[in-house]
Amino acid sequence: MDPDRAFKDAIYEQIARIGRAVAHPRRLEILDLLCQSPMSVETLARKSAMSVGSTSQHLQHLKDAHLVCVEPRGSARIYRLTDAATCELFRNLRGLAERYYPDMRAITEAFLRDREALETLDVATLQQRLKQEEVVLLDVRPAEEYAAGHWPGAMSLPLDALTDRLAELPQDRTVVAYCRGPYCVLALHAAEALRQHGFRAIRLADGVPDWRARGWPIAEGGDPL
């Protein structure tokens, strides 16, 4: 074989390993979840509504491609993204799909059609309203995701605890809820529940990976409760 051709074939085969690893919607969902925080296979299975066995198989494909790694933590095995570039890979794929495929917009609009219109906030407006104490910012993801990274000053109030903790929220301020990103439904359900209880509530579409990618400060740790 022509050595030039052999060289090119070998190089593109290595690049194709990444393409094969992410060529499954469930693996993309796993990457999206791991952009939030490291997780065990059991946690990933629960959050993605998959069996532990199926989740393990998908993780093995991602691990073989060096997109995720695993570390022991006591008796548990915790999966994490190999580095920030893996999250950027997911975000870039998402962005390309949004740009090239009208179905992305159609699917989203169909899902939101019968729901109350959502107000959009840009970051500058959000920061100004937070500074003037006009809004309360809620992180409605699970507590471990909040601890791994959140908007500075955001209050952790996971969706499954929301209705039991409504008394902690001021009635005279708008509540802005965010979760994992534009296609996460946790903040949508939180805003709906808050409106049903008389609160003025807004869903913020962006999530921590989007803010981090833009270079905005992200807080870590803290008391999630």
Positions marked active-site: 179
Alpha helices by DSSP H, listed for 65-222, are 84-100, 102-112, 123-131, 143-148, 186-196, 208-213
Identity of the residue numbered 77:
R
CA distance linking residue 148 with residue 38, whole number of Å? 8
Q: In the chain, how many H helices and how many E strands?
A: 10, 7
Residue with tokens 């807080």: 219
Q: How many CB atoms lie within 10 A of CB 103?
A: 10
Nearest Cα to Cα of residue 208 among 167, 131, 136, 154: 154
Report d(CA 179, CA 40) in Å as an integer: 20
